[in-house]
Structures are given as C-alpha cells and as structure tokens.
Structure 1
Amino acid sequence: MQSSSSLFPVALMSAERRGDLVEDVYRLKPGNSPDSSVELVVTRLGRVDGPEVRGTPVILLHGSFSNRRFWYSPKGIGLGPYLARAGFDVWIPEMRGHGLSVRNQRYRYNRVADYARYDLPAIASFVKELSSQIPHWIGHSLGGTTLAAALGGQYLDQDSAASVALFGSQVSRTYWPLKLPPVQWSGRLLLKPFEHISGSRFKRGPEDEPIGVALESMRWHGLFGRFGERDNNWWSGLAEVRVPVLAVAAAGDHQDPPWACRLLLERFGSAQRQFLCLSREQGFTEDFDHVRMVVSQAAQEQVWPQALQWLQRQPVGESLPVAGHEVVAEQV
C-alpha cells in the first residue's frame, strides 16, 4: 500500500463512517528509535458533513492501562467525538503495545522517555503534515506526564504544540518507602523478571503496562530521583517551555491530587497558565475522581465544555508571547 506520508511509512488501515463522524485509522512506522519494530496506530475523527475541510488539529493521549476507547467509545461517545463535532480535527494515538498498536520487540523496556523522545515528535510531524497546522495536545494521567516529559526534554516545542492541557497529571506525589534504598532495590529485583503489569488482573484498566514504565517511575521517586533521564532533566527544562498550558485536577482524585497537579503546572515557564479544580467548592456538582473527570455523564455536561472553551481561546497554529508567569485559577 502506498504510504500516506512523505515522512516515514504510513498505512491507512481503514476509513469508515461512524454515524455523523468519519474515522480514519493510520499505522505509523517512524523508524526513529533504537527499536525499529515500533508501530503506532493513530485514529482520526472528523465530521461527515465536511470531510474535505480539516479543522484545528487536537491530539488526545490516553493514560496508563488504557487505549483510544478512553476518549472514544464504540458508540461514538467521548471527549474525542465531542471535539470533532465541534469542528476540531481529532487525532487519538495508541502508545506502543496499547490497543491497535502492536507490541514492539523490546516492549518490556518501553519507558515514558521513549514515548517523549521518539513517539510524540513523530505523531506531531505526521499530524502537521496532514493538517498543515500546529496541533493542540490533551493528555490524561500518564498521557499528560508524557507530554510534560516531551516539553521539558525539548522534544516538543512551539512548532509542534500550539497548547497543552493536562488532566490529572503530576510527578510530585511522594512515595516515602521508595526513598529507602533497600526498598527501592528490593522492588526493582521483584519487578525485573516480569514483562508487564496486567491492567485486568489488578483492575487498573483494559491494557497492560510494560515493566520498563514501572521501573522508570520507581527511579523518579527514589532517593535523589528526579523527573527526567540521566542526561536530560525534564523538571528543570519545564521552565523553558512557552506553550500555553491548562492543568485540570479533580478534588476526589487520590492518585494524582490537585496540589501535585498544580505544582507541575507551576514549573512551566509559559505566559498563559491556567488551573482548574473539579470540585463542589468550585461550582461543580461533584468532587470528580481520576477517571470520572473525563469519562462520565457529569464530565460530558460540565468538563468537556471547559476543554472546548480552552481550545477555542487559543490562536490557530501559533503560540502566545511571553508576558508573565501568573497562574490563573478559573472560577466555574
């Protein structure tokens, strides 16, 4: 099959009509990482009534133990279809070994560092090629953490991200036992023999996570650990980021609590930074939790419009000038 891209081999796996939406599924083979077997599947959603007109591109990144169905259910419900119906050109990648993306040869060694350094830039380049616009990004949980890593590591910049929205994403929650070297060493020895952590077995989600991601997270939270690679301090690099950033936290989220989500936001050097806490205190009908902040009827009515308004306020294909470093708390 002829490639759908001039950048690297891309195959159009399917092109279907899903009710009032069109769904195009692409398989990317970037060949830009040490593991040449990596393939990434990206689903595009657009409106049936204007297939020849592409709106502003938005890329949605799922979190751990998840896949594209977090954003887009088989019945056409989700933040992805919602944004597509509002006129945006929606792209939903599935990370290595998740959903339609097959497991690469070195699957067990996959890390956030690989997603940030190799996969996100390739996805951004492909979306830019097809849309001729700089995409916006929305990430949930580990998806948002990966976005922060890519920005802090300077693998994504203003030429590949028009704005970024982080839902339930943080790296500052402390796991004190991991600060003790014997506990850290014992944990690593216990995990290393395994290829992955089962999402279904531990009731975390429909997908598995490679053991490399777990070992990487342990290193971040260990004694003298930091958010980054040995040769690239992502936490420090966030101060150089100039992309508009929205951080959305949920008052009932005990996995990624609001204080930690806000701390990540405050590391960004962006002129436009906005924090939104989904809580009764801020006028919402409930204290949302880690999943319901995106996937629930209440989120559809109260949270999705907030995401849409954020995107609609951003300039198309350009970043805002640097004018200050104030964090704005939005009252809803």
Structure 2
Amino acid sequence: MQSSSELFPVALISAELRGDLSEDVYRLKPGNSPDPSVELVLTRLGRADHEQHRGAPVILLHGSFSNRRFWYSPKCIGLGPYLARAGFDVWIVEMRGHGLSPRNQNYVSNRVSDYARYDLPAITRFVHEQNPQPVHWLGHSLGGTTIAAALGGRYLDESMIASVALFGSQVSRNYWPLKIPPLVWGIKLLLKRFRVLSGSRLKRGPEDEPIGVILESLRWYGLFARFGDGRDDWWAGLTEVQLPVLAVSAQGDDQDPAWACQRLFEQFASPCKEFLCLGKEQGFSSDFGHIEMLVSKAAQGEVWPRVEQWLNGVASLNQLQQAQ
C-alpha cells in the first residue's frame, strides 16, 4: 500500500468533488492491534474553495448497525456536510467491517475495547498529522460510548483533543433479565451460535454487528455491571477526564433514555461541560428520538446549529486560555 502518512500505511482511495464540497477517502492500516489485518476508512469533507485554509478538525463516529451515511447522505445532507460548510475540517470514520472498511480477519471477535484501545488512537494521530490542531470527537450511540471508553481507558492523548460530544450514549440502562445469572448464561449460549447480528433483519440499520461487541455489552449491563474490560475500569477513568464535554440526549429516546445519558455525562470530571435534552419541556419543537436527534428536518434547524455553537465556543475558550 502506497502511504500518504509517515505513521503507518495509508492510501488515498478516491478524491472527488461533491458540489461545493471536496471528498477525500482514505484507507488506514495502523498495524497496532493484535489483528494486523485491520483497515479503517475515513472520509474527509471540506469546502472545495477553501482547501488551503482548513478549520478545526472534527471526527464523527457512527453508532451500531451504521456507517458514514448517518452523518453524510449521498445528496450531501447531514451534520458532516453542515459542519464542513461552516468551515470545519470534517472526518467521518467507518469502523471495522462497516461501510467502506473491510472486515478484518478476526471480525467476529471485534469488541469496543479494540476500537477504543487501538483504532481511535490511530485515527486521532492520523487526523492530527494531516491537520495539526486539536481534534473534536463526536459520537452517536455506540460511537459515543466508544469515545467514552477510549477516554476512560486513557488510550487517547488528551493534548491532541479539543473536546468530545456524545449523542444518545449511555451504559446505565437497566435490563433486568441481565441481572439474573441463569438467564444471562442462556442468552450468551444462544448468541454464541451467531457470527453477527444483522441490522437489516433486526430493522436497526444497514450494517451488521460482530457478535463480540454484543457479548461485550452484556457485561456492562449485568448483575455486577462494569464499564470496562479485563484490564481497565473505564467508568472510574472518566473521573480524571478534563476535556470539554457536550452530552445530548433525546426525550423520546427509548433505547438510550435521557437519565442514563446524563449519568454518563456526570461521570466526567471536566470543568467545562454541557448537558442538553431535546424535548418539548426544554423548548424544542418535539420530543426527539434516538435517530431524529441528528437525522431529521427538525435536527437541521434546532440541533446542528447548537453543535456548531458548541465547537466555536470551545475554540474561543481555548484561545482565551492560551492568551492568559
């Protein structure tokens, strides 16, 4: 693979103009995990007429059963294009086996701990190499949970990060069947018969999820719930994170309820943080849902500008701190 990076092999697999936007697609092969076959695809969006003046880098991470199209539709609509048009340097990640990223050799055994420990640090380093400014990490659902795991495990270099934003992300919802050991054993035996769970069959999204991720999440919600892996306690580690944090929940989200999202938010020790619940009681036009919080007409007018405002506010805060 011809490399466009000094860190590890990276290939620019396409470079296109999409109307007023430029789209560059990169395939990374970090080689930093136990499975050397892992390759990750990143799509970069920028304003076609401002390639020499890149703004602050923003990395968008999709949730389960999803891919880059959650952030960026074929018609160039989505939070990704919105932020690119606002002047940000936008990078959209597709995790192992999702979208344009191929399935790695041990795909079935992939876990969030692999994403957090190996993939997110490699992505951060590459984006920082291309644009040496602190990056903003934004994640939806499992994407946000993965970012929290990477921060709680201290796998990310905070000096390279400007802020994090979590949308519909939590690890505290109660699933009472998972509190009963015999039921958990039965569920695990059943799930181990599958290699993947199909997003299309479950009507959860266009992508499959490896069974390793599903089995791992059972530990987070079980009788002795622990957000972490065998080596690190991510939940405890979040109390040391000082980065600016934005957490967004949706009043109509039954999958990741607002109270659980707030509990994850409160675990961060960050002195600069904001919690936002999207509901009628909070002054929004409706009680947003899990997907609608970012992908809907209402989100375009009510949520995307708030995200832009947050990112610009963090930039202003950093400039003020540097001036002091």
Cα deviation digits, residues 49-108 of structure 1 (max 9, x gap): 111211100000000000000000000000000000000000001000000000000000
Sequence identity of aligned pairs in percent? 70
Distance 2:250 2:275 in 1: 11
Matched, 1:168 2:168: yes
Alignment-derived partner of residue 74 in structure 2: 74
> Aligned partners of 1:54, 1:231: CA distance in 2, in Å?
38
Aligned to 2:209: 209
Alignment of 1:136-285 (within 5 A): 136-285=136-285
Q: CA separation in 2, counterparts of 1:288 and 1:106?
A: 37
Partner of 1:39: 39
* 1:185 alignment partner, SS class: helix
Shift of 1:319: 9.7
1:286 aligns with 286
Tell me if structure 2 keeps the 8 A contact 1:162–1:316.
Answer: no
In structure 2, distance between residues paired with 1:171 and 1:2? 40
Taking the aligned partners of 2:270 and 2:49, their CA distance within structure 1 comes to 37
Matches within 5 A, 1:279-318: 279-315=279-315
Bigger mean CA offset, 311-320 vs 101-110? 311-320
**Does the 8 Å contact 1:244/1:320 carry over to 2?**
no
> Superposition RMSD on alpha carbons, in Å?
1.4
Q: 1:318 to 1:118 in 2, by over 3 A?
A: farther
User: SS in structure 2 opposite 1:159?
Assistant: helix
Equivalence for 2:109: 109
Conserved in 2, the CA contact under 8 Å of 1:9 and 1:30? yes
Deviation at 1:158, TM superposition (A): 1.8
What is the match of residue 91 of structure 1? 91
Q: What is the CA-CA distance between 1:283 and the residue it aligns to?
A: 1.0
**Structure 2 CA distance for aligned equivalents of residues 276 and 107 of structure 1:** 35
SS state at 1:315 partner: helix
Flag the 1:236–1:48 CA change in 2: closer, same or farther, 3 A: same
Runs of 4+ that moved beyond 4 A:
316-321
Shift of 1:115: 0.3
What secondary structure does 2:160 align onto? coil
1:112 Cα shift? Answer: 0.4
- Write the letter of the residue equivalent to 1:80: G
Per mean C-alpha deviation after superposition, the further-off stretch among 64-73 and 213-222 is: 213-222
Partner of 1:327: none
Segment drifting more, 56-65 vs 222-231: 222-231
Partner of 1:229, secondary structure, is coil
- CA apart distance, 1:35: 0.3
Which structure 1 segments of 5+ residues have no match?
A: 322-332
- Does structure 1 conserve the Cα–Cα contact (< 8 Å) formed by 2:256 and 2:290? yes
Give how far 1:2 is off.
3.0
Residue 68 of structure 1 aligns with an amino acid whose one-letter code is R
SS in structure 1 of the partner of residue 298 of structure 2: helix
Aligned residue for 2:200, secondary structure, equals coil
TM-score, with length taken from structure 2: 0.97
Greater CA drift, 218-227 or 297-306: 218-227
Q: Which amino acid aligns with 2:139?
A: G
Structure 2 SS opposite 1:314: helix
Distance, in Å, in 1 between the alignment partners of 2:21 and 2:229 is 40
Give 1:225 deviation, angstroms. Answer: 2.5
Provide the secondary structure at the position in 1 that maps to 2:84.
helix
Post-superposition Cα deviations, 1:215-268, rounded to whole Å, max 9, x if no partner, equal 001111112120001210000000000110000000000100110000000000
Tell me which residue corresponds to 1:29: 29
Distance 2:314 2:92 in 1: 20
CA distance in 2, matches of 1:145, 1:316: 27
Q: Measured at CA, do residues 318 and 34 of structure 1 come closer, stay the same or move farther in structure 2, by a change above 3 Å? A: farther
Q: Which secondary structure does the structure 2 equivalent of 1:35 belong to?
A: coil
Amino acid at match of 1:71: W
Q: CA deviation at 1:317?
A: 11
Whole-angstrom distance in 2 between the partners of 1:180 and 1:39:
38
List gaps (5 residues or longer) in structure 2.
none
- State the aligned residue count: 321
- Separation in 1, partners of 2:92, 2:320: 25
